[in-house]
């Protein structure tokens, strides 16, 4: 693939802008066998995209046909492109990830589901529409683990009711936790396989308690990386994606 087309596919601007970045000396490519990135001023130069790495304006980038990311969502942020009150999580990402060309109905990377502005923790982002659908569909029962801080002391009755199922206002069918345990007097670890609106908060309210703090710590078999600080993101590896899928 031509270098200008590679940059375009990764969200660095129009093809004309990408050609200009190359011609102005802002792009270097990691060539096999060379430790340092090598400058390339030819926009039409062809490169094999398999495991390709390059630098744009001093920042290293891997070539990714589809982008898969994990973000440690901080409190006080909204999972919206057009936030109403709080800053958008998308401001935490570099411009190329937000500007990747449209694939199917997905322009740039999108959050897989949403977390409330006061909820923190693990959030996946991608420009792969099929992945978004698979992860969001309740039919696939992808488990999500939440660390819940509650207002009132927990007891065995509340834990048992969450496991047996509680009825929410908009659904006559009981909603059950896939797993639930009290890990402290005011701390609950809750695993859900659905994604209903404000589900954790409403389930806890249904057992006469109240959520005071909410953090998502795991999706599938992948835990939020311990070294990923609030507001930071990283690329997901093939091994990460296998863990998310439960493999």
- Both tokens of 109, joined, read 């990377």
Q: Can 116 be counted among the known catalytic residues?
A: yes
In three state form, how does the secondary structure of 125-194 look?
Answer: EECCHHHHHHHHCHHHCCCEEEEEEECCCCCHHHHHHHHHCEEECCEEEEECCCEEEEEECCEEEEEECC
Catalytic residue among 5, 116, 118, 187: 116
Q: What is the dihedral of CA 105, 76, 218, 106, to 10 degrees?
A: 10
Q: How many Cα atoms sit within 13 Å of 37 on the Cβ side?
A: 19
Where in the sequence numbering do the catalytic residues fall?
A: 116
């Amino acid at each position: 693939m031509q270098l200008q087309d590679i940059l375009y596919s990764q969200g660095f601007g129009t093809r004309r802008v990408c050609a200009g970045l190359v011609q102005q000396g802002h792009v270097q490519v990691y060539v096999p066998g060379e430790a340092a990135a090598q400058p390339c001023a030819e926009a039409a130069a062809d490169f094999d995209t398999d495991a390709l790495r390059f630098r744009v304006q001093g920042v290293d980038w891997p070539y990714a046909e589809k982008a898969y990311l994990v973000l440690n969502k901080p409190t006080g942020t909204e999972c919206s492109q057009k936030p109403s009150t709080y800053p958008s999580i998308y401001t935490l990402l570099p411009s190329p990830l937000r500007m990747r060309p449209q694939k199917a109905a997905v322009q740039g990377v999108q959050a897989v589901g949403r977390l409330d502005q006061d909820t923190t923790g693990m959030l996946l982002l991608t420009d792969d529409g099929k992945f978004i659908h698979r992860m969001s569909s309740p039919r696939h029962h992808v488990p999500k683990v939440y660390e819940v801080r509650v207002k009132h002391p927990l007891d065995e009755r509340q834990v048992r009711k969450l496991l047996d199922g509680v009825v929410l206002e908009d659904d006559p069918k009981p909603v059950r936790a896939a797993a639930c345990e009290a890990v402290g007097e005011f701390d609950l670890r809750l695993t859900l396989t659905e994604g209903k609106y404000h589900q954790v908060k409403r389930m806890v309210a249904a057992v006469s308690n109240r959520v005071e703090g909410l953090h998502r710590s795991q999706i599938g078999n992948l835990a939020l990386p311990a070294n990923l600080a609030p507001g930071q993101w990283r690329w997901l590896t093939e091994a990460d994606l296998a863990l998310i899928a439960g493999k």
